[in-house]
Amino acid sequence: MAQIIAIANQKGGVGKTTTAVNLAASLAILKKRVLLVDMDSQGNATMGSGVQKNDLLYSVTDVLLGEVPIETAIQKAEVGYKVLGANRELAGVELAIAEQEGREFILKNALKEVESAFDYIIVDCAPSLSLITVNALAAVNGVIIPMQCEYYALEGLADLTQTIDRIQKALNPNLEIVGVLRTMYDARNALTRDVSAELEQYFGKKLYDTVIPRNIRLAEAPAHGLPVIYFEKSSKGAVAYLNLAAEMLKKSKVKKGSAV
């Protein structure tokens, strides 16, 4: 069964999409079968995977509206994984499904159809708690929370963990925080180190050892429609996301082992 993981944080610009794209690419390089689902009408994860958001014949919008089977809407990308793309049309879905029964579970039900074809399904979320994001959080087994180590990150933390708790209780008992990822990390900065220490205290083992440094190649790669590993494979960003994927695989093996 696929591990289905949302990359979520209500705060904008913390590296959700960068993480979704580069984690998907890294897991694929480590021979995992990966689907990336873009649940943000900005379509950044779609574009960052080399899929033109405005040329999509079908997107996640059509799947949520029940217009096409999910298999039809999944694109084969050139980057080692498959993509269920999004574009601005997704913004209109919210209203269209608002009154529908089971509206929170549309993505979950759709993913059931394809789950067995993948080892990992990574869902990139928008920086909001819309019904679209609720669909994402209802469909996954876990959440990875990317965080920038700055003062305001801590402020948003309680909100975020409360949201996850609420959704876990109301819609998805399986939902758990699988990991917290420090992004745009600058070890020379004292505030980064302070916030990092607080995150360690708050999240304990859930905080990934791997940190993602601030790296210009990570910011440049999306303009070329490429995960950073295909753009500059020896860059610090590429190495960091590969390390993250390896850390994730190792942790999930340990967890499986201990459950036996």
Ligand X SMILES: Nc1ncnc2c1ncn2[C@@H]1O[C@H](COP(=O)(O)OP(=O)(O)OP(=O)(O)O)[C@@H](O)[C@H]1O
50 binds, among Mg ion, ligand X, none (CB under 5 to 8 A by kind): none
Is 18 a binding residue for ligand X by CB under 6 A? The answer is yes
Answer whether 38's CB lies under 8 Å from 85's CB: yes
Q: Which part of the chain contacts ligand X (CB under 6 A), choosing from 29-37, 100-108, 136-144, 215-223?
A: 215-223
Report the residue from 26, 41, 49, 183 that binds ligand X according to the rule CB under 6 A: 183
Which CB, 80 or 222, lies closer to ligand X?
222
Rounded CA gap, 161 and 174, in Å? 15
Is 212 a binding residue for ligand X by CB under 6 A? The answer is yes
Judged by CB under 6 A, the chain residues 44 through 83 that form the site for ligand X are 44
Rounded CA gap, 79 and 101, in Å? 37
Is 215 a binding residue for ligand X by CB under 6 A? The answer is yes
Answer whether 37's CB lies under 8 Å from 121's CB: yes
CB of 174 to ligand X, least distance (A): 24
Which CB, 4 or 181, lies closer to ligand X?
181
Neighbours of 47 (CB within 10 A): 21
Which CB, 44 or 172, lies closer to Mg ion?
44
Which CB, 7 or 204, lies closer to ligand X?
7
**CA count, 13 A, side-chain hemisphere, 185:** 21
The CA-based angle 168-133-24, given to 5 degrees, is 95
Rounded CA gap, 47 and 85, in Å? 9
Is 127 a binding residue for ligand X by CB under 6 A? The answer is yes
Judged by CB under 5 A, the chain residues 5 through 34 that form the site for Mg ion are 16-17
Strands 176-185 and 207-213: parallel
Q: Find how far residue 127's CA is from the centre of its chain.
A: 12
Residue with tokens 């990875």, as numbered in its chain? 144
Which residues make up the interface to Mg ion (CB under 5 A)? 16-17, 44
Which residues make up the interface to ligand X (CB under 6 A)? 12-18, 40, 44, 126-127, 183-184, 212, 214-215, 218-219, 222, 237
